């Protein structure tokens, strides 16, 4: 793991990138004291951040690649248990040598290697939601700047399409010269200065 820590996230394989990003998210899960704390996504709590990540991927995988993830605890009643079971199942799928030869088929995306589909859509989602959970629960919210910059360079040209998809709310303006994390958080529709109401 130390060797992986020295490499930037962009340099890692899909399996190792998930391992590191999920580990970082797990640390925020384990540090959460109040699952009902408001989150930066309007109407969400800390619990909803986990619920979102645990609930959308299984359908994406079952419909596109006939992969059934084992069901863990309910995220509504046991968010930490649900996250641990889910993250373990995803890691086992990515570590499985057979996964490299599989593809995911989606009407909007076409045919994509399965590990790349998980990496591009799900692992990236975990990375960005790490900020949400950390900010909601008063934990370390720092994300790797290099991956923030990479994601921005990939998403900015697709701005109109991403907004139309409903995945992100309207971008929040950030100051000129803002750091990559602030730019990314604003781009995906979060206020980088959001803090939980007291």
pLDDT of residue 1: 53
Q: Residue 19, Cβ neighbours under 10 Å: how many? A: 20
pLDDT at 198: 66
Successive 10-residue mean pLDDT values, the chain, 198 residues? 69 95 98 97 96 96 95 96 98 96 89 95 96 97 95 85 75 94 95 87
Parallel, antiparallel, or unpaired for β 110-113 and 103-106?
antiparallel
Strands (E) located in the chain:
103-106, 110-113
Q: How distant is the alpha carbon of residue 43 from its chain centre?
A: 18
pLDDT of residue 108: 79
CA distance 49 to 75: 10
What does the pLDDT read at residue 18? 98
Architecture of the 2-143 domain: Up-down Bundle (1.20)
Q: What confidence score (pLDDT) does residue 63 get?
A: 94
Q: Check residue 15 and give its pLDDT.
A: 97
Structure tokens at 169: 């709310």
- E strand residue ranges, 30-115: 103-106, 110-113
Q: How far is CA 135 from CA 47, 59, 118, 174, 192, in A?
A: 13, 28, 25, 17, 9
Length of the chain equals 198
Residue owning tokens 């968010």:
79
Q: Are 183 and 148 in contact (CB under 8 A)?
A: yes
How far is the C-alpha of 12 from the C-alpha of 140, rounded, in Å?
23
Q: Where in the chain is the domain with CATH 1.20.120?
A: 2-143
Q: pTM value?
A: 0.93
Rounded to whole angstroms, the Cα distance separating 57 from 54 reads 7
Which pLDDT belongs to residue 169? 80
Q: Residue 131: phi, psi to the nearest 5?
A: -65, -45
């Amino acid at each position: 793991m130390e060797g992986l820590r020295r490499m930037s996230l962009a340099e890692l394989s899909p399996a190792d990138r998930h391992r590191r990003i999920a580990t970082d998210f797990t640390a925020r899960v384990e540090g959460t004291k109040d699952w009902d704390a408001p989150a930066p996504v309007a109407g969400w709590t800390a619990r909803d951040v986990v619920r979102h990540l645990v609930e959308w991927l299984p359908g994406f995988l079952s419909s596109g690649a006939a992969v059934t993830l084992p069901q863990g605890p309910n995220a509504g009643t046991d968010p930490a248990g649900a996250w641990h079971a889910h993250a373990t199942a995803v890691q086992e799928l990515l570590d499985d040598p057979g996964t490299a030869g599989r593809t995911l088929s989606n009407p909007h995306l076409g045919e994509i290697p399965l590990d790349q589909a998980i990496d591009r859509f799900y692992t990236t989602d975990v990375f960005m939601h790490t900020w949400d959970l950390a900010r909601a629960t008063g934990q370390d919210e720092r994300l790797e700047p290099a991956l923030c910059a990479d994601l921005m360079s990939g998403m900015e040209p697709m701005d109109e399409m991403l907004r139309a998809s409903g995945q992100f709310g309207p971008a929040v303006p950030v100051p000129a010269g803002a750091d990559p994390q602030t730019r990314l958080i604003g781009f995906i529709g979060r206020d980088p200065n959001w803090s939980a109401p007291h």
